[in-house]
């Protein structure tokens, strides 16, 4: 069952929606109710792909500066 991730263009709130039909209308933002939402890639793929990059980018460099 496909789960689509949407991001609201009005308030930038991101939310996931389970889609039963093959081509449904974009849902309203669950936070502000705006219909201006954009569909993103499925959540499972984006989480798996981006987390490694984020970890590498967020890893601090502990060696320089203090000794």
Q: How far is the CB of 62 from Zn ion (least distance, A)?
A: 39
Buried b / exposed e over 7-46, threshold 16 CB at 10 Å, is ebeeeeeeeebeeeeeeeeeeebeeeeeeebeeeeeeeee
Binding Zn ion (rule: CB under 5 A), the pick from 4, 5, 6, 29 is: 29
Considering only the stretches 15-23, 31-39, 44-52, 53-61, report the one whose residues sit in contact with Zn ion under the rule CB under 5 A: 31-39
Under the binding rule (CB under 5 A), the answer on residue 35 touching Zn ion is no
Rounded CA gap, 64 and 49, in Å?
30
- Contact footprint for Zn ion (CB under 5 A): 8, 10-11, 13, 29, 31-32, 34
């Amino acid at each position: 069952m496909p789960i689509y991730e949407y991001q609201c263009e009005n308030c930038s709130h991101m939310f996931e929606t389970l889609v039963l039909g093959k081509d449904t209308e974009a849902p309203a933002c669950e936070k502000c109710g705006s219909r201006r939402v954009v569909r993103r890639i499925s959540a499972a793929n984006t989480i798996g792909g981006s987390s490694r990059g984020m970890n590498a980018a967020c890893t601090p460099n502990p060696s320089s500066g203090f000794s």
